[in-house]
Structure 1
Amino acid sequence: MGGLLAARALSEAFDRVTLLERDELPAEPRNRRGVPQGQHVHVLLPRGSEVLGSFFPGLADELGAAGVPLTQLARQIRFVVSGHRLVRGHLGPTMLQPTRATLEHAVRQRVAALPGVEFVQGCDVTGLTTEGGRVTGARFTRRGDGGQEETVQADLVVDALGRSGRSLEWMSQQGYPRPPEERIQVGIRYVSCMMRTPPDALAPEQGILVGPVPGRPRAMAFMACEGDRWVLTVAGMAGDHPPTDPDAYLAFVETIAPPDVHEVITKSERLSDLVTHTFPASLRRHYEKLRAHPEGLLVFGDGLCSFNPIYGQGMTVASLEAEAMRACLAAGDHELARRFYRAAAKAIDPAWQLSATGDLALPEIKGPRPLATRLINRYVARLHRVGSGDVAVADAFWRVAGYLDPTPALLRPSVAVRVLTRRGGD
């Protein structure tokens, strides 16, 4: 998704955009090897839906016609966080709930139809070409043809290869330092399956999200998707991992799910095998703090920051980075890398703050907890408790969680007074 969104932004500034893709891409919505997390719960938060709508007009209607639920975030999602169930808010932010395969296929079809866009499939990127200190293209080999190396020349190369950090090696070869990094060892594994619930078993709810709490570093998401199906994802952090035996899996779910939700799950039909994915650490690379960058190269998406997936931020933040790239390219190529990394950091900062402080609220997660972090976590835990009965507080949280308002909106006097003076409703 990061590469596709970057290509969409690039298509407005360049006559030709070439995507080098490792997989042979399917002609229909289907999970593929290059997206190992693709069969687990994915959400496109309200702000991400807005950005995709600006890049691809009519995409929401297209996905809706394919059966993708459009959900009222504050009214149709049951959110249990810090051990408290948030009260239902007012009608407002909506989000799409497609499976990853369906969303990616729809976006890829739109990108492929853009003038000047070309996909080179089934290839491995092996390095960069440079001239006079500037990146001038990428080297790659096609799988199955004997490994003969080819080159594609480019005015700009965007590394959307993921969190592996290939650009770190390439930049080091040119004498550039590594960017400062932040890493939080979350040790998370999630196990998922596709299910079909009894008709209207949870209506009007379209999803249930239960976050971890101290002493129980486990979380779950049970979300409706296209095809009259639901995806169940169960996660365990700090090595407290869910099992893959079906009976043991349901017993693990019972330790997290609200009783009525667990009952629905036990009565639902499992449509797929259990699949797993492991995520060792949240990682952020601060390219914006480097004093110099190689011209002709930008790092994008998970190469900049990859979050603990239980917070559902990845695709939305990638869309915000693409929006930042579009704005930077429209302003010209002078100091493009410096301007883009600073703009991307502004998009990443609130997401990282939310996920990092959320992780460090759990004593099971190792990491530094300065006074500011401890105070924020105490405030947020109280906000969640008050939000279990106060609609105004819950609505403020929903808007921040959907990336429609900045994180400091939770500290506005109209919200903070309620958080600090009221009691919770559960």
Structure 2
Amino acid sequence: MSQRRENAVVCGASMGGLLAARVLSEFYGSITLVERDVLPKAAIQRRGVSQGRHLHGLSSRGYLVLAELFPKLFDELMASGASVVDFADPSLIYVRVGDHQLNQAGEMSQPEALVTCVASRPLLEAHVRRRVRAIENVAFLEDHDVIEPVFGQPDRVTAVRVVNRTTNQERVLGADLVIDATGPSARTPTFLETHGYARPPEQKYAVKLNYSSQFFRVPDGTLAEKIVLVAPTIQRSTGAGLLAYENSTAILTLIGVAGHKLPTDLPNVIALAAELLPSQITAALRAAEPLGDVSARHYPASAWHRYDKLNRFPKGLLVIGDAVCSFNPIYGQGMSSAALQAQALRDSLADGDTDGLSRRYFRSAAKRLTPIWQVNRLNDFAVSPVDGWRSIPQRLLNWQIDKLMAAVANDMVLNEAFFRSLQLLDPPGELLRPSKLIRVIKGKRRSSSTTVPSSLS
């Protein structure tokens, strides 16, 4: 029997929770968004989004989903100083993998799809939060911790218990649907186990990622590029990313894989950046004003809670965002992953009654997450030192990556296909189509026309 759709509660007001609330507003009479922080009105950093102090990107696929859910959102962001970047314009992008610079001038067949918005996480989230606040049937309950969902019927969650962080007063919010969007530390697996359900199987692998980030105010005219990425390789465990944000600000993030320790003081951060980045970008950083201190973080492992594999799951409960799957943050896919899961939620709510919702939703979300997880797993394996027999497939993988990147750097058809895959517009398998493989095989390496730092030569 189908359950009513009157009240829904979303636990957590980060990007996954905001997008879930937006989708639920089409299907439920009222939505309450519970958040432990007191949310700022302005676009400033907040405690609950530690990743906001590091490089944060939105893929083209995520851009399209947000544009659909929030019409004119990116016009508003541009009015606040953000940039909409066209990947067909090589002057705005610098991407290097090993010896291969991938942003090449040339004509793309579908350039209109390869766009994204470059904005700081606080600015993007502030605009999305403002749009969600404006939805008539959505209310925010801030400064509250979620204690746990509440069973009101056998096998059905009908409420969630919360507590005010200031007064310690508890209350129970009735709900026809509760969504856990509380991030990687979400307690739903423990809640399930406590109430006699199986924990979701967990896919997990060590990443041992370190990263150090510094915000800057960059003088006008000194930095042409909006998106910069130099990927770490098996030969060199460090990489760098830079995004030009709103109001002449930029963020530099240094990347250390396989446990490589990074500097946490500004002079040494700039020194390492100079080894990795083209000279004109380093010059812009040296001329820039540092904003605040260097922020450092460690990311031990990527994890995916496979709720789609469970045979039994409470009705009236779902999980979304990083609470389902947390990706290596250097790939900048967390917000886009949340957007894809919001799409899965929307489709699942539209497809049938609520009794079969969890199965439909988790399976639909898994289909969207699987190719991203698989590619991330391969990329992380490629740059992580291994011993014994595992070094043989790793060497083969890196040889294949090198040949592919050499071809991508010199062939606009492959270049567009690569960036479409990187931006989650096409599945990774597009690059394995016979027509593309033939171009890879025929591709010949040539040196990049731009100056390469001596350490990369």
TM-score range, shorter chain: over 0.9
Q: In 1, distance between residues paired with 2:247 and 2:390?
A: 44
Contact 1:238 1:365 in 2 (8 A): no
Which residue of structure 2 lines up, in the alignment, with residue 79 of structure 1?
Answer: 95
**Bigger mean CA offset, 263-272 vs 289-298:** 263-272
Q: In 2, distance between residues paired with 1:350 and 1:219?
A: 24
Contact 2:93 2:103 in 1 (8 A): no
Secondary structure of 2:52's match?
A: coil
Which residue of structure 2 lines up, in the alignment, with residue 36 of structure 1?
Answer: 50
Q: Structure 1 residue 25: deviation in Å?
A: 0.5
Q: Structure 1 residue 371: deviation in Å?
A: 8.6
**TM-score normalised per structure 2:** 0.88
Contact 1:359 1:365 in 2 (8 A): no
Q: Give unmatched runs, 5+ long, in structure 2.
A: 1-14, 448-457
Contact 1:4 1:108 in 2 (8 A): yes
Q: In 1, distance between residues paired with 2:389 and 2:250?
A: 37
- The one-letter amino acid paired with 1:272 is G
Q: Deviations over 1:89-124 (max 9, x none)?
A: 535111000100000000001111112111110011
The percentage of aligned residue pairs carrying the same residue is 40
Which residue of structure 1 lines up, in the alignment, with residue 306 of structure 2?
Answer: 286
Is 1:388 matched up with 2:413?
no
Contact 1:217 1:364 in 2 (8 A): no
Map 1:104-253; keep pairs closer than 5 Å: 104-130=125-151, 131-145=153-167, 147-203=168-224, 205-253=225-273
Contact 2:220 2:248 in 1 (8 A): no
**Bigger mean CA offset, 90-99 vs 376-385:** 376-385
Q: In 2, distance between residues paired with 1:34 and 1:223?
A: 22
Q: In 1, distance between residues paired with 2:386 and 2:217?
A: 34
Q: Deviations over 1:133-163 (max 9, x none)?
A: 2111111100111x22211011111000011
Q: Structure 1 residue 374: deviation in Å?
A: 7.0
- The one-letter amino acid paired with 1:418 is R
Is 1:261 matched up with 2:281?
yes
Q: Give unmatched runs, 5+ long, in structure 1.
A: none
Which residue of structure 1 lines up, in the alignment, with residue 340 of structure 2?
Answer: 320
Contact 2:240 2:254 in 1 (8 A): yes
Secondary structure of 2:157's match?
A: strand
Secondary structure of 2:162's match?
A: strand
Counterpart selection for 2:71 from 57, 60, 83: 57
Question: Against the structure 1 CA distance between its residues 29 and 202, is the aligned structure 2 distance closer, same or farther, given a 3 Å change threshold?
Answer: closer
Contact 1:87 1:390 in 2 (8 A): no
Which residue of structure 2 lines up, in the alignment, with residue 303 of structure 1?
Answer: 323
Q: Structure 1 residue 357: deviation in Å?
A: 0.7
Q: Deviations over 1:261-303 (max 9, x none)?
A: 2233223222232112221111111111111211111111111
Q: In 2, distance between residues paired with 1:343 and 1:78?
A: 34
Is 1:21 matched up with 2:17?
no
Which residue of structure 2 lines up, in the alignment, with residue 347 of structure 1?
Answer: 368
- The one-letter amino acid paired with 2:22 is R
Contact 1:234 1:253 in 2 (8 A): yes
Which residue of structure 1 lines up, in the alignment, with residue 379 of structure 2?
Answer: 358
- The one-letter amino acid paired with 1:58 is K
CA RMSD of aligned residues (A): 2.0
- The one-letter amino acid paired with 2:261 is H
Q: In 1, distance between residues paired with 2:410 and 2:61?
A: 26
Is 1:379 matched up with 2:400?
yes
Q: In 1, distance between residues paired with 2:422 and 2:388?
A: 23
Question: Against the structure 1 CA distance between its residues 177 and 274, is the aligned structure 2 distance closer, same or farther, given a 3 Å change threshold?
Answer: same
Secondary structure of 1:115's match?
A: coil
Q: In 1, distance between residues paired with 2:334 and 2:77?
A: 19
- Aligned pair count? 424
Q: In 2, distance between residues paired with 1:116 and 1:370?
A: 55
Counterpart selection for 1:70 from 77, 84, 108: 84
